[in-house]
Structure 1
Amino acid sequence: MTNAALTDAAPLSPPAHGIADWPFGPAVPGLARPASLPGGRPWPRIRIVTLISAEADVRETVASVLRQDYPALRHDLVPPGEARSLVARLRVDPGIDYLLWLNPGDLLAPGALIALALEAALTEAKAVAGLRVLFDTAVRGLDCPAFTEGSGGAVLWARGGLDAAALPDANGMFDAATAWSAIPEEARRFIGRPMLLHRLKAAPTEPDGLSIVSLTGTGTQGGAGVAQRRLAEALALAGHRLTSIALSDRPEAAEWTDTFPQAEAAIAAAGPDLVLAGNLHGATRSLDVIDRLRRRGPVALVLHDLFPLTGRCAHPRDCGRAAGGCDAACPGPDEYPQLAPRRIADMHARKRAALASPAGPWLLANSAWTLARTRELAPPGSVAEPIRLAFPTATFRPGDRAALRRRLGLPPEAVLILISAVIVDGPDKGFHDLRAALRAVARPGVGVVAIGRLDDPGRLGIANLFAPGLIADEETLAAWYGACDLHVTASRNETLGQTPIEAGLCGVPTLAYRTSGLTSAVIDGVSGRLVPVRPGALAEALAELVADPEARARLGACARIALESRYSPAAAALSLEVVFRRHGLRDASTRQSFGPAMLGHFPFASVRQPGATGTVEAPSSPLVRRLRRAKQMVLGRRMPLLVRRCLYLAGRLRRSLP
């Protein structure tokens, strides 16, 4: 039990620790601890054990525990000689659920216990590890020591999962490495957020990173481009050396272009240890460039969509041709990414040959659904690996909702429903279902915020509509998210779904269909609700959530905690580190570490990293919007081959002019 005399002692000076709000800032507005676990279960009971001795000053350690605001906690301060017997008793004590060994001098980071306990409860893991912030007079970096030897103060241990062989020795030393390795890999979890601060006795070693080329088709704008950029940034924070290269700036030529001399020469000059490719179909309809690159060294292909696995499309939906062989009978050759029907069968065969070749690219799947679909569609022998995407968790954060609404000119008392996509009324976003659900709850006091391209807002048929259009600045986008009460999507074809995660990080729950990668992006009952894909299901659930502010608040609070742990830049880098080690790019004994800037990607840091700008194209002019609407009235959203050829020739002519 905590010693009150230690708690009341004056803090040490200088304040190079979390207790004096360094390196952390004030509490994040709008981020409250949920009263219970999802479903109403009480928070698990945690017992913390810290050694005391004449040499160890534990005042800051104790104060960091008291600042956790955790509802079911006891902190034991024990001399070294009593540690072994105490932990032995705690291992079999039914009055506790989890044990945390906190070394004297180490400090718990803000909200650490809530984050660890939530992940443990959701996954039933026997051990959950977090990151350490390494400091002396300044932050020197972050690491995840459990990758190699475990760390008593960086792991939450389930009472029944702690191995007896790892009990403290006669000197009170806890063998965390033995305890960690004794737990099956599937019963261990990492969360990508700081759990504690560890005071350094010597300068940390610099990360020995890889040289990595992040390769895209035409750049990093738009949903998949943004996801690729964020992955590259996460790897740079993990000490890797990143070079970003785009294949082309000629999207109109993608259907007829398979070679990229300048880009391929730049990659060869970089001599990377790995090419991390993604979202290539804006520049080419083939994987020929991937086949050439893999002959020089390892290539990983991030599946932001399923284009690499089909003859043409990004999402085969219910079409069965992708499994048996795409051909000229493709139902949508004029839909983006378009390809002339007579070329589809050959293109599919070429892609499969590239994927099945010796030392072929690793296929990186961003959700459980995408991993399963990849194993179904990829040729035998293809390597498929799960990874996490990275999100700017300091930029997308809860805020003061009332203040945000005043700033954005939104009604202060209305229930605001958010819909968000690069193209809101795009064919893959379930626009008709979405419109029906929104109309079903439309009434005074309920408004809709539509973020993204919506050429004809009148198509929604919503009176209380706020449509800021495309937002290219992440800080501004996060403000719009945070001003809303609920996010809803009717999409059925997502390899993951970035908008539900961005909304959840802002404390806004998501309502979505229980399908595709959305089953990973929305943790049902935790960060939102999933409903079956049937007529009326979305409207029914939306009406329930609009009428239940307590449910929205509970889901929003849990969403922020759970999604930060799983989709921070650190979580993404850790997931890729597993892949690198499995394929021999990194030594298994190397401790994963991050630069000091990684701390700034969490909202409780005193100095936060700024959000990105230029994430989407500039809004179209009124003339372009009118022309686009006219084209859709005549041709729909398809682009006939003749029109595509004309655009290609026009592009060549434009570039040939002085």
Structure 2
Amino acid sequence: MPAAGRPRPAHGVADWPRGGHRSAPERPDTLPDGRPWPRLRVVTIADGSEVGLADTLASVLAQAYPEARHDVLPAGAAIAEAFGTEADEAGAGHALILRAGDMLAPGALVALALEAALTGAAAVAGLRVLYGETVLGLDAASLRGAAAGDDALPSGSEILFDLARVGRAANLAEPAALWAQLAASGAPLARIGRPVLLQRASEPPASGASLSIVSLTGTGHRGGAGIAQRRLGEALSLAGHRLAHVALTDESPAAAAEWADRFPRAEAAIRDFAPDLVIAGNLHGATRSLDILGRLRSESPVAVVLHDLFPLTGRCAYPKGCTRIVTGCDAACPTPDEYPQLRRGRIAAEHTRKRTLLAGAAGPLLLANSDWTAEQARGHAPGSAVARVALAFPTGVFAPGDRRGLRHRLGLPGDDVLILFSAVIVDAPDKGVADLVAALRSVAGPGVGFVAIGRLDDPARLGLPNLYAPGPIAEEADLAAWYGACDLHVTASRLETLGQTPIEAGLCGTPTLAYRATGLTSAVIDGVSGRLVPEEPGALAAALKDLVADGAARQRLGAFGRITLESRFSHAAAAMSLDEALTGAGLLPPRAGRVRFAPEMLARFALAAERDGGSGGTVDALSPPFVRRLRRAKHAVLGRNLPFWMRRGLYLAARMRGALRRAERLA
């Protein structure tokens, strides 16, 4: 919120451009690979009236980017001459052109320069915030360039150009046109999903093309995949699309999932909404089949978010090295009683139906949240359309805080090195808990503490001293406080299509140590937001010892992680990636102009004067002691899997409860 007695700024950014700013990123002295930060040349074109020029100058000065040189040139000046070898005394390698009255957003130069260094792009563009008496909207350049007349305002001041790639004789006076030329030529371009420019406008921008979309899930928005699906829906709504949410368990209980493949009420509701697109994800909590998508696609295009690999297999979420997926899953499945369970005799038929659906001429678009997931989709669903998208994270909620203050608030030791590990079910075998505990025990001792976030029925079994286990945390803001209070986040999982906890931790300035495996290679940017180690015995423990002993390395990784992950995984970044995916699949008309966002998008960023507070109810609350004891007893006797007789019993019990409720309503 704005400070007491201080009016909210029209551009929506707190205390800007004069005064300190809470979201200004910490900037290490060098780039992640040790190179110096690139030299930048910022040129402001003044029109002689000097209206707004003071704000422009203040916003550039407040960037705290010492390698930047800023010059003010009169309108009509030959900008290209300013970048000649004699005039360009700073030897700048990158250039950004402003107009008097434009303001760079907090941390804009750092974010643009870091992305340019990491990607080697010819140009990097960020978000533009348009404002009048209040925020009017946000937008971003299209990777397909700009259409004539698309933007009545001068644009391009949100783009950083690499002079070595575009040439010093390029027409930098028209940066939007130069961006379009680069796009047409196939030059590598990059966008970051965070505001870099504040520009005054007289009226709201024209809205872009929008769709009516149904977000279809099995169990709604709880748990990791449910949270990811909800956040993608938020991103689409903020991009102007109309969203409706349908959860199959509102009609059929989760206990019936192995036997349920028809959902007449849900399908009727979707037909009544008449969507332009159905985006499905995490269906296996309510059904072991994709047949509903086959029925829906006859009336609406369908896309499937690959939160796991269930849509590609006969029944499992991850093959775990099983090669049967290559020739066709069948009754020889080694894990039919693992969730999502399915009787052996039904596996082959389900896999065949899935492959037929995915490879059909009107098959669903597969949305992959990491490079590894996209590779798996192309390999195991040949003939399918696959597009890479970014998941959305509330970067204004998951943001660095005062670490010492957070520890005091949460009752954590002020000076210990605190190592956090987190999952919906902390000790789930698929999270590599045995490897994780072995690595953690190797660094246990005075001055080292551990924090476990998530369901953990028996913390004592881990054998970790100084362990803090608050259980599941349903409020995003509370979860961010725990991330921000810790020094390091560790995961030993090898089975992730992406891995959301490393990104949430990194946004809070806490780096992650993980295996170089599966989608984690996209969630953890090695040497930038954390460290990846080979899947070898002892590798995790050795790297953990190094990071526990090296506070400077942790701080450096935390700073880079915050900057990069905000740029790549914000709601705006997710919306831009979905726009590219849907346009590429022909579900949106080809866009040569700007991608538009609602004014409310700004509240998703930490720099906003009024931030979105995040969501609650994201995971189930801690079970009562009796339930935890009962679950431990079941694990001791039957293990974690559910045999068929138990699944059938739970199903029959759920049907009986449903029948009794219906009878009560009729009575």
**TM superposition score normalised by structure 1:** 0.94
2:261 and 2:464 map into 1 onto residues whose CA distance is 45
Q: How does 1:249-398 map to 2 (within 5 A)?
A: 249=250, 250-378=253-381, 380-398=382-400
| Alignment CA distance shift 1:246-1:157 (3 Å) | same
8 A contact 1:44–1:72 mirrored in 2: yes
Match of 2:408 in 1: 406
Match of 2:569 in 1: 567
Deviations 1:601-640 (A, max 9, x none): 1111110001100001121111111111111111111110
SS of equivalent to 2:270: helix
2:159 and 2:654 map into 1 onto residues whose CA distance is 57
Q: Which runs of 5+ in 2 are unaligned?
A: 1-6, 148-154
Q: Post-superposition shift, 1:32?
A: 1.8
Note if 1:231 corresponds to 2:232.
Answer: yes
8 A contact 2:137–2:204 mirrored in 1: no
Match of 2:101 in 1: 105
SS of equivalent to 2:174: coil
Match of 1:209 in 2: 210
Note if 1:149 corresponds to 2:146.
Answer: yes
Q: Post-superposition shift, 1:86?
A: 2.2
Instruction: Work out which of the residue numbers 77, 84, 88 in structure 2 matches 1:82.
Output: 77
Q: Post-superposition shift, 1:18?
A: 7.7
Q: How does 1:482-521 map to 2 (within 5 A)?
A: 482-521=484-523
| Alignment CA distance shift 1:34-1:165 (3 Å) | closer
Note if 1:139 corresponds to 2:135.
Answer: yes
Match of 1:598 in 2: 601
* Counterpart residue identity of residue 97, structure 1: G
Q: Post-superposition shift, 1:56?
A: 4.4
Q: Post-superposition shift, 1:297?
A: 1.6
| Alignment CA distance shift 1:149-1:590 (3 Å) | closer
* Counterpart residue identity of residue 98, structure 1: H
SS of equivalent to 2:390: coil
8 A contact 2:13–2:609 mirrored in 1: no
Q: Post-superposition shift, 1:580?
A: 1.8
| Alignment CA distance shift 1:634-1:116 (3 Å) | same
Q: Post-superposition shift, 1:163?
A: 5.3
| Alignment CA distance shift 1:14-1:509 (3 Å) | closer
* Counterpart residue identity of residue 72, structure 2: L
Match of 1:7 in 2: none
Q: Post-superposition shift, 1:39?
A: 2.5
* Counterpart residue identity of residue 230, structure 1: R
RMSD: 2.0
Instruction: Work out which of the residue numbers 646, 651, 662 in structure 2 matches 1:648.
Output: 651
Instruction: Work out which of the residue numbers 37, 45, 59 in structure 1 matches 2:39.
Output: 45
8 A contact 2:18–2:59 mirrored in 1: no
Match of 1:123 in 2: 119
- Percent identity between matched residues is 61
Q: Post-superposition shift, 1:24?
A: 10
8 A contact 1:17–1:23 mirrored in 2: no
Q: Post-superposition shift, 1:83?
A: 2.5
1:502 and 1:416 map into 2 onto residues whose CA distance is 16
SS of equivalent to 1:182: helix
Q: Post-superposition shift, 1:81?
A: 3.7
1:179 and 1:363 map into 2 onto residues whose CA distance is 30
* Equivalent residue pairs, number: 641
**TM superposition score normalised by structure 2:** 0.93
8 A contact 1:166–1:179 mirrored in 2: no
Deviations 1:282-303 (A, max 9, x none): 0110110011111112111000
2:69 and 2:240 map into 1 onto residues whose CA distance is 37
1:215 and 1:91 map into 2 onto residues whose CA distance is 60
1:507 and 1:408 map into 2 onto residues whose CA distance is 17
8 A contact 1:424–1:450 mirrored in 2: yes
Q: Post-superposition shift, 1:180?
A: 3.5
Q: How does 1:53-72 map to 2 (within 5 A)?
A: 53-57=47-51, 58-72=53-67
Note if 1:463 corresponds to 2:484.
Answer: no
Match of 2:15 in 1: 21
8 A contact 2:136–2:203 mirrored in 1: no
Q: Post-superposition shift, 1:152?
A: 2.4
| Alignment CA distance shift 1:503-1:175 (3 Å) | closer
Match of 1:419 in 2: 421
| Alignment CA distance shift 1:115-1:17 (3 Å) | same
1:68 and 1:504 map into 2 onto residues whose CA distance is 22
Q: Post-superposition shift, 1:317?
A: 1.5
8 A contact 2:123–2:179 mirrored in 1: no
2:293 and 2:405 map into 1 onto residues whose CA distance is 49
8 A contact 1:218–1:248 mirrored in 2: yes
Which stretch shows the higher mean deviation, 219-228 or 584-593? 584-593
Q: Which runs of 5+ in 1 are unaligned?
A: 1-12
1:145 and 1:320 map into 2 onto residues whose CA distance is 43
Deviations 1:128-166 (A, max 9, x none): 000000001111110013454294201110012225784
Q: Post-superposition shift, 1:585?
A: 2.7
